[in-house]
Structure 1
Amino acid sequence: MHSYKNKNFLVFGTGAVGGYYGGLLVKAGYDVTFIARGKNYISLKEKGLTLIRDEKKENYKIKIFEATRELETFDYIFICVKSKDTLEAAKSIKENIGKDTTVVSFQNGVENEEIIASIIGKDKVIGGLVFVASKLIEPGTIKQAGYNGGLIGELNCKITPRIETLAAIMQDSGIDCKISKDINGDLWNKLVWNASFNPISVYTGKTVDEILMDPKLYKLTKDIMTEVRDVALAHGYNVRPDTVEFNLKRSKGFKGFKTSMLQDFEQGKQLELDELVGIVVKKAHEKNMTVPNIEDLYNKVKQKITVKT
């Protein structure tokens, strides 16, 4: 295989996703710089990055900073922050964009690529999907179990050298990364999952497998998934015809899995509710569509957050 070890990476946001992907790149011998904040930054600087996989613990000394200023330009920049922080992240990396830099959004939601492109230019951005069950269990320590993959794609649906190079690098690092021929459709395929399981888990406090085992919640999940699919199709996105069945089927392997939104709720963090659920309601209204199940749940979760705070 062609060696790409001369490529350098910036991981903006060293949480469960950025820390995991970046850690595997470091392990494979790639030049990776990380951005983190708060207790996570302090721990990463003092103790390095710890990955726990298959109950085995690995620790890596890493290049870690709190901000991007005075850093060089990079070949690839991974944006791995919550969707509410996308705009700030895009502005922060402007000085780190070189002639051939590619920025990848490894985030939840369907509007991040557009936000990043508005700051740095559409030609610099590719879309990404995360298929990793990982969790930041304490500052500087990430535990992974289950899926270990990703999906990347050009916004114009073309297969380009830069996308093939990145897929090869991630495969070389032990990440099962595939190339999407329609990343926008695939982002909506994942939103079908996110816009259903995330808010239901927050409202009920249940894990994914517990939701699937409850007949009423299973039906609600399926109904919401159908609403999301219909909104995507109304806007012209090519979601897979069996996206509801596909998302339900792949969720059966998520034993004891807490959604990212439930984890954030339990830790008192701000939720990606508008980015993952409100966006569907908004897009439905743009087409004069009714989405009673998701709209009702969106309002109930908003109320639950208000009561908690």
Structure 2
Amino acid sequence: MKILIIGTGGIGAYYGYFLQQSGNDVVFTARGEHLAALEENGLTLIHEGTTYCTPVKAHTHGYLAQHFEANEFDLIILTLKAHSTDAFVKEMGSWLTSHPTFVLSLQNGVDNENILADLLGSQYVLGGLAVRIGSHVLSPGVIQSTGKAEIIIGAWPNDAEHSSPVPSIVSQFSDVLAQASIPNQVSTDIRRELWRKLMINNGVNPLSAITGLDTFALTNHERLGSLVYGMMQETVNAAKADGVELTQQDLSEMFELIKTFKPIKTSMLMDKEHGRKMELDSIIGVVLQRSETLGIQAPYNTMAFALLTSET
């Protein structure tokens, strides 16, 4: 496949590296010092103690718009921070719509696919999530990652809401991931899977940014662990606003998953430490907004949002 990775951060670089190594034609986008390092030295990936290096094709969005048509790519994978999705659509929307192709969001939150579907139509949008992975930019051109690094993908918002057959691109990309030795699952209800992941993100990201603790220390703390669980419970409650019915079993499974996962610094904690904008709206704000729609309270999320916004 010919694949475009929009945003070569920890997630985009990790999956892009292995997709390229398995024979796919992969193009990356980046900017600033990170782009310069990719162009000069290639991509370096450090995963579970092993270092991998490869030359890559990396460009700015401007270069991309001038030298490529969107449908030259079989699949475009969006791995930007969720708060950058609107800006990306404003910048590259006409480029995407002039020659549409399939776009997969591998981002935090549950609203990125809605933004893309408003632009392209849901027939061109795939939802996805990266699970059991911690990955971040260690230095320009260098990525450090840990975990099994699985991908779950599916047609947006789910198979049942597609009047026509689900795009074959879903099964095709699943096969491509398998050939690249990337564990993956195809979901018939990807919107539900995104809300399940949001449970974890909402549970640990804000509290890790507040406390400075990694996921293992946070979830296994005598008192803080119960706060994580409370944040996750409020996510379960809020999901009903999108017609997603999560259960106590979902909550227990997701809490046990993050509680037993290798200790990692959350993306929100990393962003805070490096003075970058945190994904507050896509992780906490979405729970508060959906809770307001339903007329219910979300006191844990309200507290976390207040504490984190008071620092910015």
Fold match by TM threshold 0.5: yes
In structure 2, the residue matched to 1:207 is 214
Alpha-carbon separation, structure 1, partners of 2:214 and 2:155: 33
1:54 Cα shift?
Answer: 2.9
Number of equivalenced pairs:
299
Residue aligned with 1:252, SS: helix
In structure 2, the residue matched to 1:3 is none
1:165 Cα shift?
Answer: 0.4
Paired amino acid for 1:109: G
1:29 Cα shift?
Answer: 1.0
In structure 2, the residue matched to 1:69 is 65
In structure 1, the residue matched to 2:116 is 116
Alpha-carbon separation, structure 2, partners of 1:240 and 1:176: 25
1:48 Cα shift?
Answer: 0.3
Determine whether 1:239 maps to 2:246: yes
Q: C-alpha root-mean-square deviation of aligned residues, in Å? A: 1.6
In structure 2, the residue matched to 1:29 is 23
In structure 2, the residue matched to 1:139 is 140
Residue aligned with 1:34, SS: strand
**TM-score (normalised: structure 1):** 0.92
Paired amino acid for 1:35: T
Aligned partners of 1:197 and 1:259 also within 8 Å: yes
Aligned partners of 1:128 and 1:153 also within 8 Å: yes
Aligned partners of 2:241 and 2:290 also within 8 Å: no
In structure 2, the residue matched to 1:271 is 278
1:21-68 per-position Cα deviation (integer Å, ceiling 9, x unaligned)? 111111111001110011110100000011112322111111110122
Determine whether 1:79 maps to 2:75: no
1:191-218 per-position Cα deviation (integer Å, ceiling 9, x unaligned)? 1111110000011111111112211101
1:149 Cα shift?
Answer: 0.6
Aligned partners of 1:79 and 1:89 also within 8 Å: no
Unaligned runs of at least 5 residues, structure 2 = 160-165
> How does 1:149-298 map onto structure 2 within 5 Å?
149-158=150-159, 159-298=166-305
Residue aligned with 2:149, SS: strand
1:254 Cα shift?
Answer: 3.0
Alpha-carbon separation, structure 2, partners of 1:32 and 1:59: 15
* Closer, same or farther: CA 35–93 of 1 in aligned 2, 3 Å: farther
Picking from 12, 16, 29, the partner of 1:18 is: 12
Alpha-carbon separation, structure 1, partners of 2:65 and 2:99: 18
Alpha-carbon separation, structure 1, partners of 2:56 and 2:178: 21
In structure 2, the residue matched to 1:52 is 46
Unaligned runs of at least 5 residues, structure 1 = 1-6
Q: Whose strand fraction is larger, Structure 1's or Structure 2's?
A: 1
Aligned partners of 1:153 and 1:182 also within 8 Å: yes
- Of residues 10-19 and 89-98 in structure 1, the stretch that sits farther from structure 2 once superposed is 89-98
1:83-128 per-position Cα deviation (integer Å, ceiling 9, x unaligned)? 1111222341642568672100000000000111222222111101
Residue aligned with 1:270, SS: coil
